[in-house]
Chain A
Amino acid sequence: MIEQAIAPAKPLVLRTSIGKKYAMATSGIILVGFVIAHMVGNLKFFFGPVHFGEYATFLRTMGSPILPHYYALWGLRAVLLAAVSVHIWAAYSTTRQSKAARPIPYAHKDTIQASYASRTMRWGGVILLLFIVFHILDMTVGVAHVGAFKETTAEHSTVYANAVSGFKHPIVTLAYTLAMGALCLHLFHGIWSMFQTFGRGSGPREQMLRRLAATISVVVCLGFLAMPWTIMFGGRP
């Protein structure tokens, strides 16, 4: 009841799906921020192995001398890990709520304007999760790396070599391309949905925001694929 809307026991984010959406959108901002930064970072590959290497070592020595090596990097990793786990927890719990909301499906269903992207966020999310796990094992840990792999240290970066040894195999580049397709779809709807979750996605700005989301998702994904595709076609900047 409105008058006696007593202070609810559980916080908003735990008891309502919109609360979970705020969490998903906030974590979404962090993930999108990282993805854009990471894509730009990878473009350093085109400035040659030394430059690319400096980027990798820089990541590991950020904040020194105040911070010892790897501290800042692990800080970043923790934030990323937290963001993606909140994101996945919220995605899982809202997905479960929505599945339960329609136990008996329609015998014959059609849609009016729902975009493919908006209807595949869940599958897109799962694909992205698998990709991230595989990708870290592939590029950072090296266990899942096809071809020679040497771990990068604060002093010596092998990122260029690892990238080349990995992406020259078309199968790897193809896998990454598929993952980027999933990312593109996920961001195409996700970025606009984020604005809408914060109540800013409608009204006069709606079309502009939807176009912005589309551009970011395409640019990010093509930007990511630049390195693997160049390597696959033998390019060695």
Chain B
Amino acid sequence: MTLTSSEGRWSVGTDITDNKVPAGPIEDAWDTRKFELKLVNPANRRKHTVIIVGTGLAGGAAAASLGEMGYNVKAFCYQDSPRRAHSIAAQGGINAAKNYRNDGDSIYRLFYDTVKGGDFRARERNVYRLAQLSVDIIDQAVAQGVPFAREYGGLLDNRSFGGAQVSRTFYAKGQTGQQLLLGAYQALERQIGKGTVEMHTRHEMLDLIVIDGRARGIVTRDMVSGAIDVHMADAVVLCTGGYGNVFFLSTNAMGCNTTAIWRSHRKGALFANPCYTQIHPTCIPVSGDHQSKLTLMSESLRNDGRVWAPLKRGDDRSPDQIPESERDYYLERRYPAFGNLVPRDVASRAAKAVCDEGRGVGPTGLGVYLDFADAINRVGQATIRERYEGLFEMYNRITDENAYKTPMRIYPAIHYTMGGLWVDYNLMSTIPGLFVGGEANFSDHGANRLGASALMQGLADGYFVLPATIGDYLAQTPSNTADASHPDAQKAVADVKDRIGRLLRPNGTRTVDSFHKELGKIMWDYCGMGRNEEGLRKALDRIPELREEFWQSVKVLGTNDELNQSLEKAGRVADFFELGELMCIDALHRNESCGGHFREEYQTEDGEAQRNDEEYSYAAGWEFAGVGAPPVLHKENLTFDYVHPAQRSYK
């Protein structure tokens, strides 16, 4: 029985009750589940084919592990090599409850911090499992030869990151993401060399094939020849990363998209918490409308930099002209306890508030200062150079400014998407046989991801969770991979070809990028750092109009049967239009503020996020009901037996 909301933009369906989370004490949850999972006899594994879309930390680790176990794996990525997935850009580090610093860290504390940091919107047992597996991830990475930073004694070095009270972050200078991904990539290439994994680079998944209610294959486009192919399998795994590019400007790579998960959503996979998007506070501000993407400066800079903005509005003097008395170190003012190390969502909102008062700096007035003068006086420029050289160099390369002399200008930017396809404890979506791992699923970070925990989640899913749970699913399904000529498979191919035809036909007046920029602007203004009911309604009116105009007058030259980058972009932007609408509906329906989702109507008197735990302590799983048709909300109520919800305070 579906209730329709007051203005009919969505309807409410039955609650999600079976998330397959094991009962019993939380410490044993994952171990009992591993024991319960059915196994596939090693001799039979060759008969099962598993498709893995995406070769980032989640996909790469899963493909390598399943290949090692003897499964027949087909892996896909849109880049020209599996090593280039966007996990490569992670700089800060990866958390693990190793407690090498003996500063009181433990699996339980990592679990506690992550649930609290997620603003109490994640499943406790998923987060506990994440904390448990974090230990094994570091062992695996070190054994693979990942060159983590070491102390002179030869053991692993740790640093504190993202406001954590303990030093639990392992890092490899400024390339933690790259080095961890190379560990998984090398294990994957080993399996490709042995023939257990078949790698398809420059292939984009354009649709999911569902037969008798089970995911049995995917439709892909070869981005070089344009060939539309069908790949059949016993199980499909999506590890396709985040959808931050719906805002056009984000720290994601240019190719990051939502196509794979969105197409699966249209085939019946619930999409959970789409409006939970994370804003990273320390990014390089926009320098003009030619900007194609934003560059992130590692959060570790906030360990030594002091954030400030001029006290007076419109004070456009150069920073060294503004005396201390006329500077507002607003983070230290508003949050004496944490100061410049407040979590990301808090720091981002504070910067936006300052700029909205007209006290922003830089040519666009959208920026605040991150000043290292005091740190340089305190520990000397050499120490600062040793800690952050790569970052200051990159900042200089982009802005031509010397951050050792003049303070850095920073402004928040879209960075990570906590939302994604809904999955149960076994990481299976609501479509049997369709698994989702890494940033593409919704599970572990609630409404706000802590720094250095996405790499942990991607690898936990890829190395340890998926190989076990997929085995359980395969053990209970017949291993007769459906034939590509199956009518449902051919229908999916026909849909893909028809859609490509509709993208090429208009040959209209506006380029794909111009539409993407306009959609991004709408999403940033009305569904970005600060959201309100009126703005979200305006967006929900404008997006369908723009979508129609897109299908009528987008200009895509060339044909499908060649390398056609405009056609690729057009396909992605078309899906972003539909996702953007669902994000606004999700933001509109959630009358509270939590983590990355800040509704201006719901804040405490001193501007903090005001959660409404009585009514909104659930994960919102949305069911697709047709383009433009009101989606159906299925709630998964969250219970917190171990970490009791409290108002997050960083004062």
Direct contact of A and B (CB under 8 A): yes
- Asked if A1 is at the interface of the complex by the 8 Å CB criterion, the answer is yes
Residues of B within 8 A of A1 (CB): 193-194
User: Which A-chain residue is minimally distant from B195 (CB atoms)?
Assistant: A1
**Distance of A71 Cα from B194 Cα, bound (Å):** 57
Pair count A-B, CB < 8 A: 3
Q: Is the interface of A mostly helix, strand, loop or mixed?
A: loop
User: Which A-chain residue is minimally distant from B193 (CB atoms)?
Assistant: A1
User: Which A-chain residue is minimally distant from B190 (CB atoms)?
Assistant: A2
User: Which B-chain residue is minimally distant from A3 (CB atoms)?
Assistant: B194
B152-195 at interface with A (beta carbon < 8 Å) = 190, 193-194
Residues of A within 8 A of B193 (CB): 1
Residues of A within 8 A of B190 (CB): 2
**Can you list 3 contacts pairing A with B, beta carbon distance less than 8 Å?**
A1-B193, A1-B194, A2-B190
Residues of A within 8 A of B194 (CB): 1
Residues of B within 8 A of A2 (CB): 190
A1-30 at interface with B (beta carbon < 8 Å) = 1-2
Residues of chain B at the chain A interface (Cβ within 8 Å)? 190, 193-194
A119 to chain B, nearest CB (A): 30
B421 to chain A, nearest CB (A): 36
**Distance of A2 Cα from B193 Cα, bound (Å):** 9
**Distance of A2 Cα from B190 Cα, bound (Å):** 9
- Annotate A96-126 by CB proximity to B: 1 below 8 A, 0 otherwise: 0000000000000000000000000000000
**Distance of A1 Cα from B194 Cα, bound (Å):** 7
Minimum-distance CB pairs A-B, first 3? A1-B193, A1-B194, A2-B190
A1 to chain B, nearest CB (A): 5
User: Which B-chain residue is minimally distant from A1 (CB atoms)?
Assistant: B193
**Distance of A49 Cα from B290 Cα, bound (Å):** 81
A206 to chain B, nearest CB (A): 23
**Distance of A1 Cα from B190 Cα, bound (Å):** 8
**Distance of A1 Cα from B192 Cα, bound (Å):** 10
**Distance of A192 Cα from B81 Cα, bound (Å):** 36
B185 to chain A, nearest CB (A): 16
**Distance of A2 Cα from B189 Cα, bound (Å):** 12
**Distance of A1 Cα from B196 Cα, bound (Å):** 13
A4 to chain B, nearest CB (A): 9
B557 to chain A, nearest CB (A): 26
B387 to chain A, nearest CB (A): 26
A218 to chain B, nearest CB (A): 39
**Distance of A46 Cα from B194 Cα, bound (Å):** 69
**Distance of A1 Cα from B193 Cα, bound (Å):** 7
B51 to chain A, nearest CB (A): 24
**Distance of A90 Cα from B193 Cα, bound (Å):** 31
**Distance of A77 Cα from B190 Cα, bound (Å):** 50
**Distance of A168 Cα from B415 Cα, bound (Å):** 80
**Distance of A50 Cα from B193 Cα, bound (Å):** 70
A203 to chain B, nearest CB (A): 19
**Distance of A1 Cα from B191 Cα, bound (Å):** 10
User: Which A-chain residue is minimally distant from B194 (CB atoms)?
Assistant: A1
A6 to chain B, nearest CB (A): 14
**Distance of A1 Cα from B189 Cα, bound (Å):** 11
B187 to chain A, nearest CB (A): 13
B217 to chain A, nearest CB (A): 30
